[in-house]
Amino acid sequence: MQQKFSIVPAMISHSKNTVGRSSSLAPKGKTKAKQRYLKRKKERRKHKKVQPKHGEGTARNEIEEDEESDLNEDVEDKVDVMEVDEDHTELPMSIEKPSKEPRLEKRLKKRRKLKISPEESAGQSIEKDEGGAAQHEETEYEVPEASAPSRSLSPAAALPSFPLPSLPDAPTQSALALQGLDQALMDAEVVDPSIVLPISRQGGTATGLSEKMQKTLQELGITELFAVQTALLPFLLPSDPWQKSLYQPYNPPRDVCVSAPTGSGKTLAYAVPIVEILSSRIVTRLRALVVLPTRDLVAQVRETFEAISKGRGLKIGIATGQHSFTHEQSHLVADRTSSLLGGSSKVDILICTPGRLIDHLTGTPNFSLQHLRFLVIDEADRLLAQSYQDWLIQILAATRPPKPSAHYLLEDLVKDANSLWEKAQSRSRARHDALNPAFLHLLPYPDCPSFLPEKKEISCQKLLFSATLTRDPAKLASLELRDPKYFVVHRTPEKGDVLDNSVLDVVTERFTFPETLKEHMIVCETAKKPLILLHLIHQHHIANALIFTKSAESTARLVQLFDFFEQARTSTGGGANNRPRISVRAYSSDLGAAERKSILGNFKDQEIEILICSDLISRGIDISHVAHIISYDAPIDMRKYVHRVGRTARAGKNGEAWTLVEEQEARYFKTMVKNASHLEKVKRERVREQDLAAFLPHYESALTQLKEVYSRQ
């Protein structure tokens, strides 16, 4: 009995403030469990007395057995205490310390330590009733595993053994990628990039193009349609003339998302149908809006539109912030003085950057998007990542008719007669001409109810394009696409490809690269990178190249070093080869818009051989003679890599891409490319020390000069 009580303080002694009555109460209140326990104990004692006769138990064994039995008792005591507690019998508060068995006491002390819960260790006392429950839980888990089987008297079934917990198999990468994916993307039409379709002037039906357009394209040297165009033109220009009509309020067109490699002709894929459809318009309204991320791209796309819309009478405008706001306003809107509910546009097609577009939406009177038939978002993934003034939300709101205000007027009539009067006044002052049918309820007189099931859906068709289209469901949802149709221009799977699902490849960023592109990488020491770049350019006679750095600052520094090197090289007779001094210029956001335009013009005219640039022109820019791309600073993600290298090998031309990878970046870069299943396409090149030797003297002289310049600054 003493042993039984000796265990109780072990469970509660750490809680000095526990409330309880005298110990004499506990033995008296024998429960059935206690009686069972005492019976078992008796049996065990009997059994022990018998044991020495059979075994050769030493004194030590006896002690161990004793301890074991104590432990078993300990366990059972705890069970008893639990039962006592369940019966709401309070535990004894003061218990005598056991006078014998120091080893057991040691073990108990150890266990006491283990039993201290975090709250208690923080000095909190536990109320006995509440703490009791907590202790029960502890007690159950504290039973040492080894001692569990020794409860020989418990029935085996009382201790069911459960299988060990095991982790389920992780879902495959492809399963994860497809989770939450838009069904429309899963049902995408996959287009083989090698498909071409001749533009024949006789059989116009194959391409759906008008005679006029075929003639224009052929004059531009375009004799066949590229893959993305063969898929998109029939979709946007169906043979049914009704579906080609300017507005389709009863059968609004489906929205379109296109993922196609760099240089595959996406611009013409949307520009041609827009020009074809808008050509039937009679009055000028803003009917096509093309949003692009940079001014340079706006200028480029404008050239394309102007080239293919010759003789159509369509007016094309741009808004990029390059000119003053009033200048732009005067080019976009005909009448800014009177209030026109239908807006007043001077252009049919507007190509713009999102920031400037929002400025006009909010600050230019009579600038309206209610007549939009096409909303094009090119480089969609880049633009959707940009949240400037919630540009997308504002644009979409401007294309939608405001909610009919009939109820509103009635309710407001009661609430605020004054404001209603003002509204009615301002509307009646506004001229109502040119209202889109879906906006007719803006008129100050009531909307006549009709028995005809008249739909008033807007006919604005959204067209999204990118070489690295987003799969982000949230971003796609923000576009409020109407029954979207996806086109994915993707290489057909090669033998041995693990994944042969093109859509899966797109969503897992296994992008398609131009067939005509050759890729290399050079792993090098950071300190030797500039020297290796110079060697590369001279060794491979590189010209018509874009060299990408990580920032405008790096661009400026590298250009200066390059200039000093060329100066040193040519002043001593040409150095390693007799190549005349290479003309190199910087192109980054550090330069003003006019200077950038002029530099880009000079590069296009091949007056500048090499352009060292930041990622400002890594997207979309189309310069046909670019033969080499050098990533002086390795790109940090696959999308950036795709767009950089995509500035060459465009429209079926050959091109080479080089990436200089610093030793410490090599692992990251290789993993990135490997994850895109592209590593085998990137050939590793090695540069030997002796190859660099010829460039070293001029390089060192250039470095010294550069240091001087920077120390002066």
Ligand X SMILES: Nc1ncnc2c1ncn2[C@@H]1O[C@H](COP(=O)(O)OP(=O)(O)OP(=O)(O)O)[C@@H](O)[C@H]1O
Nearer CB in complex with ligand X: 376/430: 376
- By CB under 6 A, which span of 54-62, 220-228, 573-581, 674-682 interacts with ligand X? 220-228
Name the β-bridge partners of 683. 520
Q: Give the residue, chosen from 126, 225, 237, 299, that forms a contact with ligand X under the rule CB under 6 A.
A: 225
Q: Smallest distance, Å, CB 537 to ligand X?
A: 24
- By CB under 6 A, which span of 25-33, 122-130, 184-192, 219-227 interacts with ligand X? 219-227
Residue 322 · residue 593 · CB < 8 Å: yes
Residue 651 · residue 624 · CB < 8 Å: yes
Q: What is the CA angle 459-465-332, rounded to 5?
A: 55
Residue 545 · residue 628 · CB < 8 Å: yes
How many other C-beta atoms lie within 10 A of the C-beta of residue 602?
14
Give the 3-state secondary structure of residue 139. helix
Residue 463 · residue 376 · CB < 8 Å: yes
Q: Rounded CA gap, 659 and 642, in Å?
A: 12
Q: Smallest distance, Å, CB 195 to ligand X?
A: 11
| 268 binding ligand X? (CB under 6 A) | yes
Residue 703 · residue 561 · CB < 8 Å: yes
Q: Give the residue, chosen from 208, 620, 635, 655, that forms a contact with ligand X under the rule CB under 6 A.
A: 620
- In 3D space, the residue among 707, 708, 691 whose CA is nearest the CA of residue 534 turns out to be 691
Q: Give the residue, chosen from 266, 360, 462, 640, that forms a contact with ligand X under the rule CB under 6 A.
A: 266
Cβ-in-10-Å burial (0-12, 13-18, 19+) of 575 comes to: buried
Q: Give the residue, chosen from 126, 222, 318, 469, that forms a contact with ligand X under the rule CB under 6 A.
A: 222
Nearer CB in complex with ligand X: 513/699: 513
Q: Footprint of ligand X on residues 135-174 (CB under 6 A)?
A: none
Q: Rounded CA gap, 134 and 360, in Å?
A: 67
- By CB under 6 A, which span of 256-264, 308-316, 394-402, 516-524 interacts with ligand X? 256-264
- By CB under 6 A, which span of 26-34, 261-269, 355-363, 547-555 interacts with ligand X? 261-269
Tell me the site size for ligand X, rule CB under 6 A: 20
Structure-token pair, residue 457: 């859906």
Name the β-bridge partners of 547. 612, 630
Q: In sequence order, what are the residues at sequence separation of 6 or more whose Cβ sits closer than 8 angstroms to the Cβ of residue 362?
A: 394
| 262 binding ligand X? (CB under 6 A) | yes
| 275 binding ligand X? (CB under 6 A) | no
- By CB under 6 A, which span of 17-25, 146-154, 224-232, 286-294 interacts with ligand X? 224-232
Give the 3-state secondary structure of residue 583. coil
| 651 binding ligand X? (CB under 6 A) | yes
If you write DSSP's letter for every residue of 516-565 in order, what string do you get?
Answer: TEEEEEEEE-GGGHHHHHHHHHHHTT--SEEEE-SSHHHHHHHHHHHHHH
Q: Rounded CA gap, 348 and 278, in Å?
A: 8
Q: Taking each helix axis from N to C terminus, what angle separates 593-604 and 295-308, rounded to the nearest 10 degrees? A: 50
Q: Smallest distance, Å, CB 587 to ligand X?
A: 17
Q: Give the residue, chosen from 92, 193, 646, 655, that forms a contact with ligand X under the rule CB under 6 A.
A: 646
| 610 binding ligand X? (CB under 6 A) | no
How many other C-beta atoms lie within 10 A of the C-beta of residue 408?
13
Q: Smallest distance, Å, CB 218 to ligand X?
A: 10
Which strand (E) or helix (H) includes residue 49?
A: helix 32-54
Q: Give the residue, chosen from 34, 78, 628, 650, that forms a contact with ligand X under the rule CB under 6 A.
A: 650
Q: Rounded CA gap, 53 and 48, in Å?
A: 10
- By CB under 6 A, which span of 334-342, 420-428, 579-587, 646-654 interacts with ligand X? 646-654
Which strand (E) or helix (H) includes residue 259?
A: strand 256-259
Structure-token pair, residue 289: 């809006």
Q: Smallest distance, Å, CB 617 to ligand X?
A: 11
Q: Smallest distance, Å, CB 710 to ligand X?
A: 35
Q: Smallest distance, Å, CB 616 to ligand X?
A: 14
Nearer CB in complex with ligand X: 82/301: 301
Name residue 111's amino acid. Answer: R
- By CB under 6 A, which span of 403-411, 594-602, 644-652, 688-696 interacts with ligand X? 644-652
- By CB under 6 A, which span of 175-183, 266-274, 540-548, 565-573 interacts with ligand X? 266-274
Question: Positive or negative, the Cα torsion across 84, 89, 94, 99?
Answer: negative
Structure-token pair, residue 76: 């059972």
Q: Smallest distance, Å, CB 202 to ligand X?
A: 18
Residue 579 · residue 658 · CB < 8 Å: no
Q: Smallest distance, Å, CB 542 to ligand X?
A: 21
Q: Smallest distance, Å, CB 223 to ligand X?
A: 7
Nearer CB in complex with ligand X: 225/442: 225
Q: Smallest distance, Å, CB 571 to ligand X?
A: 39
Q: Give the residue, chosen from 338, 624, 671, 704, that forms a contact with ligand X under the rule CB under 6 A.
A: 624
- By CB under 6 A, which span of 365-373, 476-484, 495-503, 643-651 interacts with ligand X? 643-651
- CA 354 to chain CA centroid, Å, is 20
- By CB under 6 A, which span of 93-101, 244-252, 281-289, 618-626 interacts with ligand X? 618-626
User: What strand order describes the sheet that includes 682-685?
Assistant: 584-587, 610-613, 545-548, 628-631, 655-662, 517-524, 682-685
Nearer CB in complex with ligand X: 265/575: 265
Q: What is the DSSP letter of 658?
A: E
Contact string (CB under 6 A) for ligand X, positions 6-45, x = contact: ----------------------------------------
| 622 binding ligand X? (CB under 6 A) | yes
Residue position matching structure tokens 């429960």: 31
Q: Smallest distance, Å, CB 338 to ligand X?
A: 40
| 575 binding ligand X? (CB under 6 A) | no
Q: Give the residue, chosen from 132, 234, 263, 635, that forms a contact with ligand X under the rule CB under 6 A.
A: 263
| 265 binding ligand X? (CB under 6 A) | yes
Q: Rounded CA gap, 543 and 452, in Å?
A: 67
Q: Rounded CA gap, 478 and 471, in Å?
A: 12
Q: Smallest distance, Å, CB 702 to ligand X?
A: 34
Q: Smallest distance, Å, CB 222 to ligand X?
A: 4
Contact string (CB under 6 A) for ligand X, positions 417-456, x = contact: ----------------------------------------
Structure-token pair, residue 233: 């033109």
Give the 3-state secondary structure of residue 474. helix
| 226 binding ligand X? (CB under 6 A) | yes
Nearer CB in complex with ligand X: 209/591: 209
Q: Which parts of this chain interact with ligand X (CB under 6 A)?
A: 222, 224-226, 229, 260, 262-268, 467, 620, 622, 624, 646, 650-651
